[in-house]
Amino acid sequence: MDAALPLTAPAPAAAGAQGLAHWPLRTDAWVQGLDMEAAAEDADLLLRLLEIGFLPGERVQVLARAFPAGDPIAVRVGRSTFALRRREAALVRIAATPPAQVGAA
């Protein structure tokens, strides 16, 4: 993976960050970053997640889970909706509170 990609620090360091795969349905969350400690073979997947909009600060919701296994899941990020496998969604680190605004008074 190219080191010049606009990624945040590894998400596990972010306080309260967790994976999107097990987030409750229709509950707002905010992307904190991607799990940069993922396996090397996930590099293309991480890039794809960035390209489709899983960027730090974006609002995200889990809309639905397939029955019975819960895979795939329907996820809304920004104004777009995507189907992700749980393994893919687990790479997206989220938090229940929006990120602090830089330069906010």
CATH number of the domain enclosing 87: 2.30.30.90
Q: What is the pLDDT of residue 52?
A: 94
Evaluate whether 45 touches 85 at the Cβ level (below 8 Å).
no
Range of the domain at 71: 15-95
**pTM listed for this prediction:** 0.76
Backbone angles phi, psi at 15, to 5 degrees: -65, 125
Model pLDDT for residues 6-45, shown as the tens digit of each residue: 444 333 334 567 899 999 999 999 999 998 887 888 889 9
Residue 8 lies in a domain: no
Q: Which residues pair with 73 in a beta bridge?
A: 65, 84
Asked, for residue 5, whether it belongs to a domain, the answer is no
User: For the chain, what is the domain count?
Assistant: 1
- Predicted pLDDT of residue 29: 96
- Segment 60-82 shows an average pLDDT of 93
